[in-house]
Amino acid sequence: MSTFEQIREGFKNIAKDHGPAVSNIAKVKSVDESTAMCVLEDEDGQEILDVRLRPVLSDKKSFILVPKVGSYVLAVRVEDDDDWMIIAADEVTKVGYYIGNTIIEIDAAGFLFQKESETLKKIMVDFLAAIKAMSFQVNTTGSATAQTGTTNVLINEGQFTAIETRINQFLK
């Protein structure tokens, strides 16, 4: 190893031993989803306060990862200051993506797919209601004891057309 490489390695070791860590695996002590912050405890028992659950703390949302209390997370420093952010967790309670008026959230209760005030669940519930309400106009011929006929018109076809429009506006 050259003298230059030895000096470089020496500086790396000094920085590693005496400088702040750039990442940390720690245990989640508490979570406050309303402020998008949590408190961690490192392997030495020291608390790391105000750890971000989102990359940027502002009134705008884009992404949130909510770890389970008691789980282990990987936190990294944000730039060269004392701010930390969660980038991965071994257990999560919620993941959310927010793009304009479109929301995708996943938690133990299920999935939320929302665009403006429309949700995929609302569309599916209305679709099933329309299926359950299906009725047809039937033309029959024959005698009082033996009927034959053809189905001509789906009476509630308008419900299906309206749901199809909603699906096309909701999904790509």
82 in the same domain as 49: yes
Same domain, yes or no: 132 and 79:
no
- What does the mean pLDDT of the chain come to? 88
> What's the confidence (pLDDT) of residue 82?
83
Asked, for residue 112, whether it belongs to a domain, the answer is no
Per-residue pLDDT at 57: 80
In a domain? residue 113: no
Q: Is residue 107 part of a domain?
A: no
What's the number of domains the chain is made of? 2
Domain identity same for 87 and 124: no
- Is 108 part of a structural domain of the chain? no
| Residue 10 vs residues 17, 21, 73, 115: alpha-carbon distances, Å | 11, 17, 30, 55
Are residues 137 and 72 part of one domain?
A: no
Q: For residue range 89-136, list pLDDT tens digits in order.
A: 999 999 999 999 999 999 999 999 999 999 999 999 999 999 999 888
Beta bridge partners of 64: 96
Residue 34 lies in a domain: yes
Structure confidence at residue 134 (pLDDT): 87
| Inter-residue contact 41 to 30 (CB < 8 Å) | no
Per the structure, the complete domain to which residue 38 belongs is given by 3-93
Least Cα distance to 60 among 33, 32, 88, 100 occurs for 100
**Same-domain pairing of 13 and 85:** yes
102 is a domain residue = no
- Over residues 1-35, the pLDDT tens digits come to 778 678 777 766 766 666 567 889 999 999 999 99
Q: Which residue has the tokens 């047809």?
A: 136
Give the model's pLDDT for residue 19: 57
If you search the block for the tokens 């389970």, which residue do you land on?
A: 68
Does residue 146 lie in a domain region? yes
Same domain, 84 and 32: yes
Domain co-membership, 75 together with 7: yes
